[in-house]
Structure 1
Amino acid sequence: MTTPTRKQLIQDYKLQPTYYGVIQITNTVNHKIYIDTVPNTKNRWAYYKVNLNNHFYANSPLQADWEAYGEDAFTFDILWEEKTDAVLNLRETLKKLKKDWFDRLQPFGDRGYNKPLRH
Structure 2
Amino acid sequence: MKTKKELKSEYKQMEFPMGVFQVKCTVNEKSFIDNSVDMESKWNRHKMELKFGNHRNKDLQNDWSQFGEDKFEFKVLSELKKSEEENVNYNKELKTLQDMILDELKIEKVY
Q: Is the TM-score greater than 0.5?
A: yes
Measure, in 2, the Cα distance between the counterparts of 1:43 and 1:95: 17
Could you tell me which of 79, 82, 105 is aligned with 2:80?
A: 82
Q: For residues 46 and 92 of structure 1, what CA distance do their matches in structure 2 show?
A: 22
* Aligned-partner Cα distance in 2 for 1:89–1:9: 26
TM-score by length of 2: 0.76
TM-score with structure 1 setting the length:
0.72
Q: Deviations over 1:33-80 (max 9, x none)?
A: 11112122233321111121231225x321110111111211111111
| Match in the other structure for 1:95 | 95
* C-alpha distance 104-12 of structure 1, shift in aligned 2 (>3 A): same
Report the structure, 1 or 2, having the larger helix content: 2
Sequence identity (%): 33
How far is the alpha carbon of 1:6 from its aligned partner?
7.3
Structure 1 ranges of 4+ moved more than 6 A: none
Matched length: 107
1:22: which partner in 2?
20
Structure-2 separation of matches of 1:68 and 1:12: 42
Gaps of 5+ in 1: 114-119
Name stretches of at least 5 consecutive residues in structure 2 with no aligned partner: none
Instruction: For residue 11 of structure 1, report the CA deviation from its aligned partner.
Output: 4.2
